[in-house]
Amino acid sequence: MEYAEFIKKRIFEPLGMHHSYYGDNRSIIQNRAYGYSKGKAGFEDAEYINMSVIYAAGSLMMTTRDLLTWNKAILHHKLISEASTTLLFTNYTTNDGKQINYGYGWGLGNLRGSKMIHHGGNINGYSAMEIWLPDEDVFVSMLTNRDDFSPDGLAYKLAAYLIGKPFPEQDLNIAIAEDYTKKIRVVYKFEDDAVRYIMYKDGQLYSQRQGWFQH
């Protein structure tokens, strides 16, 4: 059985995911959302990519409602056993004992102190984010048909709001004297052990995380 037929017969149909497909480029799919990219002159059609190249790494099309159905199936062990589900959500470690914050296909962490299972995705013309807070039984999924915008931040904010732990509003327009900015060098360590440096260099204020720069 081919992969596309397998996921249809063994996953989509048994779970009632009637708006989920293997995303080939030839089939006519009702209400298909076409993908866009942002070019120099504005939005344009996303560059073509043959879904057979992506294959099992991301060639699926579905709705947010079907993603909820999928999440419930994992939660209630409709596809795999409870023991296998536990393996999926185990935070594995490197040889030196450091947790990698990743299970078998899911990112693991916390959101505002709550256990979080999550994963995002991006492909030509599309971006996605899925967040599951198991202790509060809250599930957030966001899909967008543009590849220049990541829905991650908005999904985190929405999930935090739904569990009564909203992120505080911040006024980002803060005036800082130039002579003071030259002295800035701050190190932040986050709950997932990520480290970010704030520094002033060559007339610009930079934020550096684990080796790459943005300003």
pLDDT tens-digit map of 68-102: 999 999 999 999 999 999 999 999 999 999 999 99
Q: How far apart are CA 193 and CA 210, in angstroms?
A: 11
> Is residue 64 in some structural domain?
yes
36 class by beta-carbon count within 10 Å (0-12 exposed, 13-18 middle, 19+ buried): buried
142 in the same domain as 41: yes
SS3 string of 22-61?
ECCCCCCCCCCCCCEEEECCEEEECCCCCHHHHHHHCCEE
> Is residue 167 in some structural domain?
no
Residue 143: domain span: 3-162
Of the pLDDT bands very low, low, confident and very high (cuts 50, 70, 90), residue 186 is: confident
Tokens of 80: 């795999």
Q: Indicate whether 211 pLDDT > 70.
A: no
152 in the same domain as 91: yes
> Is residue 152 in some structural domain?
yes
158 in the same domain as 71: yes
* Number of folded domains that form the chain: 2
202 in the same domain as 154: no
Within 10 angstroms of residue 206's Cβ, the number of other Cβ atoms is 14
Q: Whole-model pTM? A: 0.75
Report the CATH number at residue 15: 3.40.710.10
pLDDT tens-digit map of 106-144: 999 999 999 999 999 999 999 999 999 999 999 999 999
150 in the same domain as 182: no
> Is residue 169 in some structural domain?
no
9 in the same domain as 100: yes
Q: Indicate whether 20 pLDDT > 70.
A: yes
